[in-house]
Structure formats: C-alpha cells, structure tokens
Amino acid sequence: MGACEKGAVMELSLAARTVAEYKVLEIGGEVDVYTAPKLRERLIEMVNAGDRHIVVDLGRVDFLDSTGLGVLVGAHRRLKARDGTLGLVCPHERLLKVFRITGLDKVFDIHASVEDATRGGAARAARTGS
C-alpha cells in the first residue's frame, strides 16, 4: 500500500472546499506520525495561499494521534499569528477524548458539524482573540 512510491501516502485523504468565508479541509483516514506531514504541508500551503479562516473537518478520521495534534496546534498558531482562525469539526467521542486528555480541547474551537463551524462570525472570533 504505497510502499513502492515514496511520498504517496495512501492512508490519508485531504479535500478542500469553500463555505462562505471559510476554507473547509476534510480529512479522511488516519493521521499519525507517518501521514501527519502531508497534512502539515497542505495546511501550510493554504495559509501561504492566503486562507485565513480554516475549518478542519475530522468527521471521517479513523485515527488521530499526538503528531496529528501537533500539526493542528502548529496550524492554529500560524493562523493566529496572521489574525486568522482555525476551527475543528469533531463529532466522534473517541477523537474528542484525545483532545480532552491532552487539555487541547481548551485551545481549539471544536464543533459538532461543518454547519456549526461555518455559521459565520470568523471575523468576530478573530477580534475576540479566540
């Protein structure tokens, strides 16, 4: 499974779309130490391309570990440094648990759905510094 092709990471899928003033990045599969760099690259690309209000949708993620959390923290910080926002969509308890155990549920804006996450007010959120 992708073993012959360096750089072809099969275990992780990424798809971006625009919803109102947000860029929604839908992640599928597993985010671990091997696949997380692919996610990191994509988020960096998006920020460099000028995206400032990003929502990361974890609804189809089967596995998320500390490396994945580190990438999300990195993106959160990068966006914050540019007056942007990072929202997360995490409807599954097994992933929510991971944020809670590490205390990172206090750092991120976590929503139950993309609809909730893109309801609007990204500019408002940036002003209140959340």
Which residues are at the interface with other proteins (CB under 8 A)? 3, 11, 30, 32-34, 44, 63, 65-67, 69-71, 73-74, 76-78, 80-82, 94, 98, 101-104, 106-107
For other proteins, the closer CB: 86 or 114: 86
What are 7's two structure tokens? Answer: 């750089």
Half-sphere exposure of 106 (CA within 13 A, CB side): 3
Axis crossing angle, helix 93-102 with helix 66-81, rounded to the nearest 10: 70
Minimal distance in Å, beta carbon 23 to other proteins?
18
| Residue 119: DSSP 8-state | S
Minimal distance in Å, beta carbon 37 to other proteins?
8
For other proteins, the closer CB: 83 or 115: 83
Minimal distance in Å, beta carbon 115 to other proteins?
26
Owner of token pair 């189809």: 60
